[in-house]
Amino acid sequence: MLTTKQKVYLRSLAQKIKPVAQIGKEGLSDNLMETVLSYLKKHELMKISILQNSYVTFEEAEEFFRNEEIEFVQSIGRQIVLYKQSDDAIDPIKFPKK
């Protein structure tokens, strides 16, 4: 579970990244989960767009990703930000001490 300060820090990092995946009319699928897990294993933080033709709600997406212990950092507009700590990350995220 992330603290509020950690979430604030991750939100600031997420401002600089572009969405890597999209949730469309297919919704939440196993293929999407595989993509998300492989990306988070290397990068720890990712942004996903929910397309307008998708019927997925933010609550459904949050529950779907929580099953794999992925932290739901925030949702802005039609985008969500996810985080999962990884030992294999290319550039691991280092949280500030204070």
Model confidence, pTM: 0.91
CA dihedral 50, 70, 93, 37 (to 10 degrees): -70
Give per-residue pLDDT as tens, 23-69.
998 899 999 999 999 999 999 999 999 999 999 988 899 899 988 88
User: Domains plus CATH for the chain?
Assistant: 4-83 (3.30.110.60)
Residue 53 and residue 2: Cα distance in Å, rounded?
A: 31
